[in-house]
Structure 1
Amino acid sequence: MANYTVQLTAPAGVYPFNTVRVSLTCVGQPQQIQNVVLTPNVAVSRVFNIPNGTWDLEISGAGFVPVNEQNIVVNGDAVNAKNLDVVWYTLHTDRNRDGNLDDAGLLNQVTPGAITYGTAGVGAIIPVNCNRDGNNTAAGYTDNQDQRVNGNNDLVTGTSRLEIRRNALGPNAGAPAIPVGWSLLLSVIGTLGENPAQQHLRIFDGILNNSAEIIGPETTHSVPITTVTVGASKLYAVEAVRFAGTGFTSGQIRIALNVIQQEVTGNGNPTYLFADRVVVARWIGNHHRQTVSQIYVVDANNANFQAALGVPVANENPPYALTLATPGTSALTHVPYLNGNAWQNFIAAGRIARPGISRDRWMRDTIVSGHSVWPGNGAGVQSKDTFMKAHRWRSLQNWIYQTLISQNVGLYYPAAGSADGINDGNSGGNIAVTPPVQKTVNGATAYYRYGRIYFGNNVQSTVDQSSRDFFDAQNMQPPITLNTDWLAVGHVDEMMTFVPDDNPANAFKKWKLLIASPATAYGILRNNRNAHGNAPLIARPPHSPGNATPNFAGLSIGNAIDATGTITDFLGNGQAPTSWQDINTGNLQNYTYKQLRDWNIYGIENLINQNIRRLKAAFDLTDNDIIKVPVIFIPVHQINGNFTISDKISFWTIGADNGFNIYPGRECGFRSGAMTGDMVNMFVGNDKLMIPKPFGPWIVDNTMPNNGHDLFEDDIRQKIAAIQNGPECVFIDDWDDYHVAHGEIHCGTNELRAPYDGQTAFGNARYANWWTAVDA
């Protein structure tokens, strides 16, 4: 028998492996095996007591280059010394979010253990690449809806990075010999209860233009990679296919690199792994304290409106461009959505085809202004203007998919592929964001540095479930639900808006809330009844834009060709010029000015105040923060059904009074629209408010530039003027183009806004980026 000593020296350095298996075999003799735990740069010996003969030596272990020495003749005691090589493959992402790839995580674990945020937050953030950078993207598709890297710009602004590195230590580290039996397996793993991970993330086979998908919706969740392909290292582009939302609530994916050393664990069985937990970037809705960088309006036979809007836009500070949308000439365009592992054409529930071609003028209702930000690839933080496509099925979406999606503008449609029904509440005019607000309860304060989304969602007007899931999953701007059932169109922008106010020292109070108020409107009428009882409402003044005559020109609304009335009329009990349509008979029903007045003051004003109470419960809001804006509403159509006692405006009035004693939005009551111009439905610019002309009571005064003034305009102008260095009010006639169709300037426009400068606003570098600003 011989004492055969195997002396092993592991290389100096730091690496996560320390164990090898030493095997000696000889024909006719039992196999000799010992496991050896190694220390870097320290010789470790193991003695085998074996018969003389011809033996084969095998040394193998995770991370160690195997040794296979055959036909060793043993004839007495001997020492066989081996200097081992360590070669291992690691996975690298931008875990600390500084734009650079980090060191590998922990062996055989997912790193980080959890996605965290704040200044010490960890977990790579993957951009949702939903713009169109390259010319290899089909019309109507965004970059993340095909299997290619789309243009060189896409590499910088649309994808993240993943790297596989070969690490080597030992005598052959400069040119390590990789065994043929070694291979790699790259995989994505989802979260329990969510859709498969490959539907959310795409990994490409490189970082060059036209690099192809190797993991993603249209390929697989797991792909073998050869060590030859990786070489010393290889970079892979990564993009997110979707934001967090339905079927992807967490927004998180695990990327795993399994290394297979068949001499250690057999063919196809993983030997060790490195895995990183990543998260997709978040979508952030824009608010009115963000600087406008572009405004959109539809070209819809509205040249006068375009010209009138263009004047204040051209004089904004800072200035921005006005872009015309042209749905009237845009080709029919399919809406792509991911159905399992294939892109298909989406048709919304209850619809049978794509929307036709028309001059759909409601720019606000098709898309919701927002943006997305992520750490970038070493060239600084990247941001992308990203509209959310509202669940609306109208012609404007043809232009949105054909033209708006571009290198500079992205689009994401949360409801695409869902069975959610179309409802008037699904429109962008019903989805808005407060400026930064806070809420203090029992001495504890919650800060909403990105504001809070608010929308109408009740019985008549609802927001689709997919969009609500999308808002919730972003975990950025917790939604506030309001009641807009009382409005015929059902949108929050008919009821309220926020305007900037730079004066409060509190960064969470730098705004005023403008609320439509019939009570304010009728109060103005009452205060001017004696002096100006004959002043007309709902009429263009003489010699004004749209009226070249020396007389007042009555304006039409609803079924009234001329809805003009004086202050005395509106405060009297005569028959109003407008009417509503009986849902059962189809007949037009007249009503009196008194019915209209009481319904506004005691019905609509009450409902608006209920919404104010909801807002006060959601964030710190006092009456001093609110500016009441004069607006008078009219009934548009009645809701079928039976009322209850709690639906009545006045318990003292018998019955429903043909709907005027029922709260608007309730069964047997009305859904309403603005009679006078709905001034809260304005466009909030950088230093100007572009406000729809209300055509309130006009006081003739030939000493003034316009030979008179509008009392409703005066009211809002004086209230805005009380904001020191506040915005300028510019009144624009949108009556014929928008108002008669129950919309106003805000409904007919949309915009891009620069990301909010949280670092300056809150005085701390932590708030420069969302991933350091938020705690979860």
Structure 2
Amino acid sequence: MPNYTVQLTAPIGNYPFSRVRVSLTSAAHTQQTQELTFTPQARTKARTFTIANGTWNLRITGAGFAPINEANINVAGDATNAKDLSVIFYSLHTDRDRNGTVDLAVGARNSRTPENISFGPNGMGAIIPVNCNQDGGNTGAGYTDNQDNHVNGDNDLNSGVAHLKITRQSFGPPADTPPGWGLRLRISPAGQGEAPASRHFRIFDGIANNSAEILGPETVATEIPQDKAIVGAEKTYGIEAVRFAGQGFESGRAIIGLLVVQPEVAGLNTAAYYFIEHVMAARWIANHHQQTVTGIYVEQGNNNQFRTDLGNAVAADANPYNPLTLATPDTAAQTNIPYLNGNAWNNFTAAGQPGLPTATPDQWLRDTMVSGYSSWPGNGGDIERKDVFMKAHRWHHLQNWVYQTLLDRDIGIFYPAAGSADAINDGNSGGNISVTPPVRKSHLIGTTDYRFGRIYYGHHRESTLDNSSRQFLAAQNMQAPIVLNADWLRVGHVDEMMTFVKANNPGNPFKRWKLLVASPARAYQILRDNQVAHGNATLLARPPQSPGNLTPNFAGFPAQGTADASATITDFLGNGQAQTKWLNFDGYREYTYQQLRTWNINGIEKVITDNVDKMKGAFDLGNADIIKVPVIFIPEIRIDGAFGLTDKIDFWTNGADGGFNIYPGRNSGFRCSALTGDMPNLFSGNNHLFIPKPFGPWVIDNTVANNGYDLFEDDLQQQIANLGNGLTCDFIDDWDYYHAHHGEIHCGTNETRAPFNGQVAFGNARFNNWWTALDG
């Protein structure tokens, strides 16, 4: 029988295909098939078939190769049939190396590129912006740009939408794409057990304004065909992230696949080959106090004098920023909060709430949202950055203003708990979520550096942070959370017991801070130290402040059902009846100053120290890094339940002593509030600290300004001055509108901050951006 040789020449070029199948068929004889594999060194290969004389059909197929079908070949002896092959293939591309340009290098065929998302200077994997601001006029009130199915204007296109590209390449003799070939675009989860990736990312049909969603939250399918004629030589798609990593999206990643169907290779329903791009959503980073303040927010309420005093302090701060931005919850229209319910956006109402909050005063800016930002590689090579507030799971009046007014082109909003069944409670508030500056944890071998700081929040039994927010914070994998116990506080917020201020330390960028901690022990020590000289000094009263006014006409503060809570140092160190009371279900209960004192020094101080010890276990924190701030606390409400022996402050004292022999936050003990102004609950500006006036013991001294001074203010001011870093303490009276309602300046303000300058702090440009700063 004749030897029939088929000689094939693959084209010169760089393409990821090398294998073809050669088949000879005849109506009268058995089909014969052989395969050939090309290499760059051997682009011409031959296969010889021993076949009978007669009429044969030749078919050459292979993934990425244009098929050849040659019919009615008359074989009547040995012969050679030489063919030049054409390669035609489609590939998928993103900005894998994060330089602002889509990478046109062909990724790994039938695999994902990169295999794993990585970080550092050579990290790989496209970062997709979470497009949660509001650029265009084609979104509804309360909707962010990634909560509708269109590109929202040119600014949205330029800064909020990344690019994804399909390209067509060909090598060898010119050939058209066979009509039977098909393209399919698919998006899938990258993490096991995660919700469909189409709920986390949206792909648009182009990059022009109003380009529409083809895969995403409002598309039921996770795979969609693409017209080869429209794709042409290349087509660019827009892509945005609908949400940050969090519950049901713990990985923060997705895989986007281009499936190429060649029916002659694998049939009509199976891809002959595919390319997969491994992408991730940009991360959210909470701001810390070493970042420069760029804007400050406060409610416009019945707080005119406070706003005046705060505004004057802001005007004196370094690196001037905008004057106070006023929030107006009392006039903001009720605004729905959208959330994704399956494949549709619905209006969210928190569990147990009757509907949207009404237009009513609400001064707690900090509790409503958490200050932060998100950044990513921009399309033109610049770094894009957006201020993004995490909406806390708090259902109060300010949220209408947040979604109606604050949300705009420059400010994004993300609400992790929207759509969840998480319950509303005080522990969910933004005041219960704070951030350390950059810190380091030393181990027996090596160290762990937290260059963006660490989040810390209270989460225990009485005061808990909702599950959605906790999962969101953990999933960012940037600022590993530290969990504290705020059960002992009535409001249950960590900003009531500690905060960080800047400190000079040129030799150690991880110790350029001091931790301010509320300390009843220090408060009472100051009282004892001044009892002899200033026993009549009055606490909890506004002293005369006008120069020349020599009359000590104090105006005492009301507290807990009493008209005047003011008292002297001698009173606080005695055993008389305290002016303040705690609230039981059947009314107010009295106690003595001795009970209050012993409970503060041995109980409150201990629970605060326990929290400081948790911080010491989380990063390098020594006693020299801590500034004790004088604050006296009072019991507010009693916690039901039986106590155990370890719950008692003094083992030898019989029983609970009405709650005063039980550690705060435990069964039969109290949840508490600050009696004197809670100075750690301050606003940390650029070189000014805006501190709530403590109204500690006022010493009358007509030789100084204001005819006297506050011993608690003086103590903190001296400790801050000892840091030698030029911080100015501005003590502001916030008593009536904030302190009397269980909050202070930090609770009543919020801010935007510039990104932390990691290059300056750590001496290397890689630390400017989170994706290059992270290791691995």
Range that drifts further, 37-46 or 277-286 = 37-46
* Letter in structure 2 aligned against 1:575: Q
CA–CA separation in structure 2 for the residues paired with 1:695 and 1:664: 24
Query: What does residue 179 of structure 2 align with?
Result: 180
Alignment of 1:669-748 (within 5 A): 669-748=669-748
Match for residue 442 of structure 1 among 431, 441, 444:
444
Are 2:664 and 1:664 equivalent residues in the alignment?
Answer: yes
Find out whether 1:242 has 2:263 as its counterpart.
no
- The answer to which of 359-368 and 536-545 deviates more is 536-545
Does structure 1 retain, via aligned residues, the 8 Å contact 2:516–2:626? yes
**1:563 to 2:562 alignment:** no
Report the Cα distance in structure 2 between the residues aligned to 1:446 and 1:701, rounded to whole angstroms: 51
1:557 Cα offset (Å): 2.1
Letter in 2 for 1:638: R
Q: Is the 8 A contact 2:550 2:707 kept in 1?
A: no
Selected match of 1:405 from 404, 407, 419: 407
Indicate the larger mover: 486-495 or 37-46: 37-46
Distance 1:82 1:647, change over 3 A: same
Pair 1:33-2:9 in alignment: no
CA distance in 2, matches of 1:763, 1:379: 23
> What's the offset of the Cα at 1:281?
1.4
The answer to whether the 8 A contact 2:56-2:71 is kept is yes
Aligned to 1:637: 637
Is 1:271 equivalent to 2:289 in the alignment?
no
Which residues in structure 2 correspond to 1:92-491 (within 5 Å)? 92-102=93-103, 103-172=105-174, 176-190=175-189, 191-219=191-219, 220-321=221-322, 322-491=324-493
Residues of 1 paired with 2:227 and 2:67: CA distance?
18
Deviations 1:247-291 (A, max 9, x none): 111112111111001122221221001112112111111110011
Whole-Å Cα distance in 2 between the matches of residues 376 and 209 of structure 1?
17
Matched to 2:120, the amino acid is G
Q: Which residue of 1 aligns with 2:769?
A: 769
- Check whether the contact 1:503–1:724 (CA below 8 A) recurs between aligned residues: no
Aligned residue-pair number:
770
Deviations 1:369-405 (A, max 9, x none): 1111212223312111111111111111111111111
Q: Match of 1:346, as an amino acid?
A: F
**Counterparts in 2 of 1:733 and 1:79: CA distance versus 1, 3 Å:** same
Q: For residues 550 and 6 of structure 2, what CA distance do their matches in structure 1 show?
A: 107
- Identify the range of structure 1 (304-313 vs 51-60) with the bigger mean alpha-carbon deviation: 51-60
Q: CA deviation at 1:708?
A: 1.3
Counterpart of 1:89 in structure 2 is 90
Q: SS where residue 575 of structure 1 aligns?
A: coil
Q: Displacement, 1:645?
A: 2.0
Deviates more, 1:677-686 or 1:760-769: 760-769
Do the aligned residues in 2 keep the contact of 1:87 with 1:166 (CA within 8 Å)?
A: yes
Counterparts of 2:216 and 2:230, CA distance in 1: 19
Rounded Cα–Cα distance in structure 1 between residues aligned with 2:641 and 2:58: 89
Q: Deviations over 1:404-423 (max 9, x none)?
A: 11111111111112221112
- Please tell me whether the aligned partners of residues 99 and 381 of structure 2 are also in contact (alpha carbons under 8 angstroms): no
737-746 or 595-604, which moves further after superposition? 595-604
Note the C-alpha offset of 1:568: 1.2
How far has the Cα of 1:225 moved from its partner? Answer: 0.7
Deviates more, 1:556-565 or 1:385-394: 556-565
Residue 61 and residue 548 in structure 1: after superposition, are their counterparts in 2 closer, same or farther (change >3 A)?
A: farther
The answer for unaligned runs of 5 or more in structure 2 is none
* RMSD, aligned CA: 1.9
Q: Distance in 1 between matches of 2:615 and 2:121?
A: 31
2 CA distance for matches of 1:116 and 1:260? 31
Distance 1:538 1:548 in 2: 19
> How many angstroms does 1:43 deviate by?
3.4
| Inter-partner Cα distance in structure 1 for 2:33 and 2:647 | 86
Query: 1:240 deviation in Å?
Result: 1.1
**Cα shift readout 1:431-485 (whole Å, capped 9, x = no counterpart):** 0000011111324321111111111111110111111111211111111111111
**2:751: which partner in 1?**
751
Q: SS where residue 165 of structure 2 aligns? A: strand
Q: Indicate yes or no: 2:601 matched with 1:589.
A: no
**One-letter amino acid matched to 1:625:** D
Deviates more, 1:683-692 or 1:440-449: 440-449
The CA distance in 2 between the partners of 1:505 and 1:654, in whole Å, is: 52
Alignment partners' CA distance in 2, 1:587 and 1:217 = 53
Contact kept in structure 2, 1:543 and 1:549, CA below 8 Å = no
State the alpha-carbon separation in 2 of the partners of residues 398 and 157 from structure 1.
26
Which residue is 2:610 aligned to? 610
Determine whether 1:552 maps to 2:554. Answer: yes
Q: Which residue of 1 aligns with 2:523?
A: 521
Equivalent position SS for 2:590: strand
| Paired residue secondary structure (1:591) | coil
Equivalent-residue separation in structure 2 for 1:544 and 1:743 (angstroms): 27
Letter in 2 for 1:122: M
Tell me the SS of whatever aligns to 2:483. strand
Which amino acid in 2 is paired with 1:702? N
Structure 1 gap segments, 5+ residues each = none
Further displaced range: 528-537 or 53-62: 53-62
- The alignment-based identity, stated in percent, is 61
Taking the aligned partners of 1:238 and 1:105, their CA distance within structure 2 comes to: 19
Q: How far does residue 55 in structure 1 lie from its aligned partner after superposition?
A: 4.2
How far residue 53 of structure 1 moved from its aligned partner, in angstroms, is 5.0
Cα deviation, residue 156, structure 1: 2.2
Confirm or deny: 8 A CA contact 1:26 1:56 kept in the other structure: yes
Amino acid at match of 1:116: S
Amino acid at match of 2:491: V
Structure 1 residues 647 and 409: CA distance shift in structure 2, 3 A: same
Whether 1:535 and 2:561 are equivalent positions in the alignment is no
Asked if 2 retains the 8 angstrom alpha-carbon contact of 1:132 and 1:406, the reply is yes
AA of the residue aligned to 2:35: N
Distance 1:74 1:639 in 2: 98
Between the aligned partners of 1:418 and 1:512, the Cα distance in structure 2 is: 37
Give the match's secondary structure for 1:59. Answer: strand
Structure 1 residue 47, shift from structure 2 partner: 3.9
Distance 1:359 1:740 in 2: 15
In the superposition, relative to structure 1, how do residues 563 and 594 fare at CA in structure 2: closer, same or farther (>3 Å)? same
Which has the higher mean CA deviation after the structures are superposed, 716-725 or 499-508?
499-508
Q: Deviations over 1:562-596 (max 9, x none)?
A: 1111111111111111111222xx22111111111
Amino acid aligned to 2:188: I
